[in-house]
Amino acid sequence: MNNFSYYNPTRILFGKDAIAKISRYIPKDAKVLMLYGGGSIKRTGIYEQVKQALDGFTVLEFAGIEPNPDYATLMKAVQIVRDEKVDFLLAVGGGSVIDGTKFIALAAAFDQGEAWDIIKTDAARELTQAVPFGTVLTIPGTGSEMNYNLVISRRETGEKLSIKHEAIFPRFSALDPQVSYSLSAKQIRNGLVDAFMHVMEQYITYPIGAVVQDRLSESLMQSLIEVAPRAMRMDPPDYTARANFMWAAAMGLNTLVGRGVPQDWTTHMIGHELTALYGLAHAESLATVVPWLLWYKREQKGDKIVQLGMRVFGLISDDREALIEATIDALAAWFNSLGMPTTLTAYGIDPDEAAEAVAKRFDDRGWALGENADIHGSDAAAILRLSR
Amino acid sequence: MNNFSYYNPTRILFGKDAIAKISRYIPKDAKVLMLYGGGSIKRTGIYEQVKQALDGFTVLEFAGIEPNPDYATLMKAVQIVRDEKVDFLLAVGGGSVIDGTKFIALAAAFDQGEAWDIIKTDAARELTQAVPFGTVLTIPGTGSEMNYNLVISRRETGEKLSIKHEAIFPRFSALDPQVSYSLSAKQIRNGLVDAFMHVMEQYITYPIGAVVQDRLSESLMQSLIEVAPRAMRMDPPDYTARANFMWAAAMGLNTLVGRGVPQDWTTHMIGHELTALYGLAHAESLATVVPWLLWYKREQKGDKIVQLGMRVFGLISDDREALIEATIDALAAWFNSLGMPTTLTAYGIDPDEAAEAVAKRFDDRGWALGENADIHGSDAAAILRLSR
């Protein structure tokens, strides 16, 4: 086990009464800016629930934070925070709204020049605080509700960058599983796969004696597999299954299971490129990559693939090679069982073309990814050529 | 799954370099009061390591916090904190030193009268802050390093009371597995059993659909069982096994696995009485109770006993009753394999006499314990009579 530090001060309010409780954790007399996306929260009634919970506070609103939140949009909100002397931000949405709010919280507290520098340079290191904020999560999966990461885009320059900063842990996140009732089966499926992949990318590397972390990761993956069929039920939705999905998704990327162990986020990095090139949803992109990545890296990752197969998928075999193959098959079969394709060809994408395009983007940036920093553009290409 | 809230802002510094890192998390120019127990930290070299880490700070010391820390002792430290205008406390020790420091942190910030009222009345509710403190853990097991509970005694009146208060989460806890190298096999054994029991008392009740919490609990119990034989090795000690033991013990009582599920702390409560009556070590007392409690409550707890047997002890049977019995046997056999007895008679204690004495103490306080509040004095007695 590697040395590590772990810190996560986000307060989780979980369950049927979660949204009604948020006012306890917002400073009295605070001027609150409520931030959301395209307005679906008005159709689903979440908007009304939140407004009711904020009764007694001065509440301003900022709508229109888009998927892959754009720097230009977020800076408009920063201006409001400054002009109106806002004391507290409340993100109501999924990962994009929460990530956008994290950036706004930092940028509004930054007065050393262009706010993009926070994310592009070391300027954020100087920042010890951000505007405090909470979240009301509406789409489980990204884990942003319980971590200190953000990813935003700058369409003007074609950049998409991320940072981690301890000042942007949400003060609280309200997780009411009932908010997921208005999501489509595809959104639930995507969230399940995204959450599962977050855990897997902190797990499928090489053994390092981290018994606790391994078993915690396995417990979250097992939970997601166990509840998935019931979580996908729509009419009526299954509260208990949705609750377990929501809690597992938050736990999967709150940094706990990845402390003290090697990680490999290659699938996410290749997936981001596929999303940029072909518009695949984030989870869709991951599922077209990971079985082939595991196959391509089966020598280096073999011990953990076998462990995943035995402990999470319940496979048994004396033959190590057979077990590796059966585990990758079981993973793909699980994705498929949720209606999630695992090949680029299923989306009409030519794997050879994708391989070339992604390899170029890797090479342009000089990337060497993976737990051993040995996955270059040519490896990404080899992985994608298998995805058929 | 029940509604719940979860909050835990303690920063964990984990690994071989943990103690050297603490100064980063103590405010600059702070006057620090270092608190410890009987001085074993001087023999083990931990004292020197901590002093070195605190180089540059003004450091006062308070030695002599005893096992089951006494109110009178702690109030002497409170006086020093006030007289010397101490800004930061550093507990260096096990659960007793940490619990004692938690009380000192609260009491020094309390000026509404007699400090015992903090724990005996509702006075603590008015307190929103305590003197900030960190810990350097020297004995894994209690979990106090990562939670907001404290238990202290008042020998003058024969009282032993506990509270939870959000102001007494440690700001940080340094967990260096190497500090455990100076512990005896008995201390390691006791820590393993105590940590295991913390998880089990948040788990062995009735099913409530909390798939994630159940599996997280199981992962910690499996981890402890898996690493126990290697963790007990003395010459040389096994770093990786000690690291997993230490992390599992902190995770086992940091409140995470118990959120949203019923709990049953009866074994701890009966155990406390046995410690008071016969001087059994805390973990020893638990091991003489829990197999018999499970047997006595096997109807109500049957579903979770079976789940424990199948998932944690790897048992299989079509016969539910046989599986329940086999699970309880497997638990006792695991304790025994660590050299931990599971009967009162093994300590020369008469079970009938203990039953009577504990029943009286339960009845005097009107206790009704367990997840269904149906374990009274007569039930505690029936459980203890089996412990032979």
Where in chain B are the domains?
A: 11-178, 185-385
How far is CA B243 from each of CA A209, A342, B248, rounded to the nearest angstrom? 9, 38, 8
CA of B243: which chain A residue's CA is closest? A1
**Smallest Cα distance from B346 to chain A, Å:** 32
A211/B218 touch (CB, cutoff 8 Å), yes or no: no
DSSP type of residue A70: B
pLDDT of residue B112: 85
* Cβ burial, residue A286 (10 Å; 0-12/13-18/19+): buried
In the numeric block, which tokens belong to residue B144? 């106090």
Q: What is the mean pLDDT of chain A?
A: 96
A8/B8 touch (CB, cutoff 8 Å), yes or no: yes
The verdict on B56 touching A (C-beta cutoff 8 Å) is no
Q: What is the phi/psi pair of residue B276, to 5°?
A: -65, -40
Q: Is A331 in contact with A338 (CB distance < 8 Å)?
A: no
Question: Per-residue b/e over A63-89, b at no fewer than 16 CB within 10 Å?
Answer: bebeebbbbebbbebbebbeeeebbbb
The verdict on B5 touching A (C-beta cutoff 8 Å) is yes
Closest Cβ opposite residue B14 in set A227, A251, A260? A260
pLDDT of residue A123: 83
Q: Is A231 in contact with A238 (CB distance < 8 Å)?
A: yes
Q: Is B137 in contact with B180 (CB distance < 8 Å)?
A: no
Chain A residues touching B227 at Cβ < 8 A: 211
pLDDT of residue B125: 83
pLDDT of residue A122: 83
pLDDT tens profile A170-182? 999 999 999 999 9
Q: How far apart are CA A216 and CA A196, in angstroms?
A: 13
In the numeric block, which tokens belong to residue A28? 């009295």
Indicate which of A2, A4, A6, A172 best probes the interface with B, i.e. most B CBs within 10 Å of its own CB: A6
- Identity of the residue numbered A87: D
Q: Is A31 in contact with A86 (CB distance < 8 Å)?
A: yes
pLDDT at A213 over 90: yes
A219/B223 touch (CB, cutoff 8 Å), yes or no: no
Q: Is B124 in contact with B102 (CB distance < 8 Å)?
A: no
**Smallest Cα distance from B179 to chain A, Å:** 14
Contacts of A314 (CB under 8 A, 6+ apart): none
Q: What is the per-residue DSSP string for A332-386?
A: HHHHHHTT---SSGGGT--HHHHHHHHHHHHHHHT--BTTTT-B-HHHHHHHHHT
Closest Cβ opposite residue B219 in set A7, A216, A226? A216
Chain A and chain B share a number of CB contacts under 8 A equal to 114
Closest Cβ opposite residue B226 in set A4, A211, A243? A211
Average pLDDT over residues A353-365: 96
Q: Dihedral through CA A152, CA A156, CA A157, CA A161, nearest 10?
A: 0
Q: How many helices (H) and strands (E) does chain B have?
A: 15, 9
Taking alpha carbons only, the member of A186, A313, A180 closest to residue A247 is A180
* For residue A140, cis peptide bond before it (omega within 30 degrees of 0): no
The verdict on B159 touching A (C-beta cutoff 8 Å) is no
SS3 A161: strand
Alpha helices in A25-152 (DSSP H): 40-44, 46-53, 71-83, 95-107, 116-120
In the numeric block, which tokens belong to residue B184? 């005896």
Q: Is B196 in contact with B221 (CB distance < 8 Å)?
A: yes
Taking the alpha carbons at both ends of chain A, their separation in whole angstroms is 37
CA of B10: which chain A residue's CA is closest? A7
Q: How far apart are CA A370 and CA A297, in angstroms?
A: 10
DSSP type of residue B21: G
A15/B2 touch (CB, cutoff 8 Å), yes or no: yes
Element (H, E) at A186: helix A185-201
pLDDT tens profile A78-127? 999 999 999 999 999 999 999 999 999 999 999 888 999 999 888 888 88
A3/B14 touch (CB, cutoff 8 Å), yes or no: yes
Q: What is the phi/psi pair of residue A344, to 5°?
A: -65, -35
Q: Dihedral through CA A164, CA A169, CA A173, CA A175, nearest 10?
A: 40
A8/B13 touch (CB, cutoff 8 Å), yes or no: no
CA A338 and chain centroid, separation? 19
Chain A residues touching B211 at Cβ < 8 A: 223, 226-227, 244
A14/B5 touch (CB, cutoff 8 Å), yes or no: yes
Place of tokens 């997993």: B244
B3/A16 touch (CB, cutoff 8 Å), yes or no: yes
pLDDT tens profile A26-57? 999 999 999 999 989 999 999 999 999 999 99
pLDDT tens profile A277-331? 999 999 999 999 999 999 999 999 999 999 999 999 999 999 999 999 999 999 9
How far is CA B385 from each of CA B293, B330, B349, rounded to the nearest angstrom? 10, 21, 11
In the numeric block, which tokens belong to residue A104? 């706004």
Element (H, E) at B172: strand B172-175
Average pLDDT over residues A236-264: 98
The verdict on A32 touching B (C-beta cutoff 8 Å) is no
**Smallest Cα distance from A213 to chain B, Å:** 9
What ipTM was reported for this prediction? Answer: 0.96
Indicate which of A212, A261, A312 best probes the interface with B, i.e. most B CBs within 10 Å of its own CB: A212
In the numeric block, which tokens belong to residue B292? 């018999």
With a CB-CB cutoff of 8 Å, which residues 248-267 of chain B face chain A?
248, 251, 259-260
Low-confidence ranges of chain B (pLDDT < 70): none
**Fold assignment, A11-178:** Rossmann fold (3.40.50)
Q: How far apart are CA A293 and CA A383, in angstroms?
A: 6
Taking alpha carbons only, the member of B388, B192, B219, B214 closest to residue B305 is B214
Chain A residues touching B215 at Cβ < 8 A: 219-220, 222-223
The verdict on B343 touching A (C-beta cutoff 8 Å) is no
A211/B244 touch (CB, cutoff 8 Å), yes or no: yes
CATH classification (class only), A185-385: mainly alpha
The verdict on B8 touching A (C-beta cutoff 8 Å) is yes
The verdict on A215 touching B (C-beta cutoff 8 Å) is yes
* For residue B236, cis peptide bond before it (omega within 30 degrees of 0): yes
pLDDT of residue A112: 85
- ∠ Cα B70 B75 B78 (to 5°): 135
The verdict on A220 touching B (C-beta cutoff 8 Å) is yes
